[in-house]
Amino acid sequence: MQLSTLFLAIASATSLVTAKPIEKRTIGGITMCTGANFTGTCEYRVWPLETCITLGAPFYKNTNTFVPDEGNWFCYPYLMDCGAICRSPTGCTMGPIDSTRPDYRTDLQLQHWDKMIRSFDCHFYTNRTEYV
């Protein structure tokens, strides 16, 4: 009787572990959250490359985590809507963000960008060392 109970417990635990499929990450996949370090309202979505995306609620001027999936691509977040003219003397982007850098991609408040991102676009690297 104890052996059958043990077998049933192991079988149940195995089915719990294998029941949820692993989510595949892909080019254009970005995780955004309103809080730092994947907190607050979060969303994972695959976006087209070479296309400017103006963020909607709740992420418009309220994105603290911005993490692209792994791959040979990067994104530029902007402090203006798509199609707007940049009038900032220091530029309208914080620079490229990819899956490995910068380190503050999970806490954009460290660069004072958590309340600034209005839009972004993503591109393939043509030369991986071009932004290093």
Q: State the CATH number of the domain containing residue 84.
A: 2.60.20.10
Q: What is the pTM of this model?
A: 0.75
- Residues 118/79, Cβ–Cβ less than 8 Å: yes
pLDDT (0 to 100) of residue 12: 45
The CA distance from 120 to 118, in Å, is 7
With respect to residue 112, please indicate whether it lies within any of the assigned structural domains. Answer: yes
Residue 18 placed within a domain: no
What pLDDT, on the 0 to 100 scale, is given for residue 20?
35
Count up the domains in the chain and report the number: 1
Question: Residue 116 sits in which domain range?
Answer: 26-131
pLDDT in the model for residue 100: 84
| Residue 80 confidence class, pLDDT cut points 50, 70, 90 | very high
Judge whether 6 lies within some domain: no
Residue 2 lies in a domain: no
Q: Is residue 123 part of a domain?
A: yes
Assigned token pair, 21: 């499929």
- More confident: 47 or 13: 47
Residue 28, strand partner residues: none
58 part of a folded domain:
yes
Please give the structure tokens belonging to residue 71: 């791959």
Query: Looking at the domain assignment, is residue 7 inside a domain?
Result: no
In a domain, 51, yes or no: yes
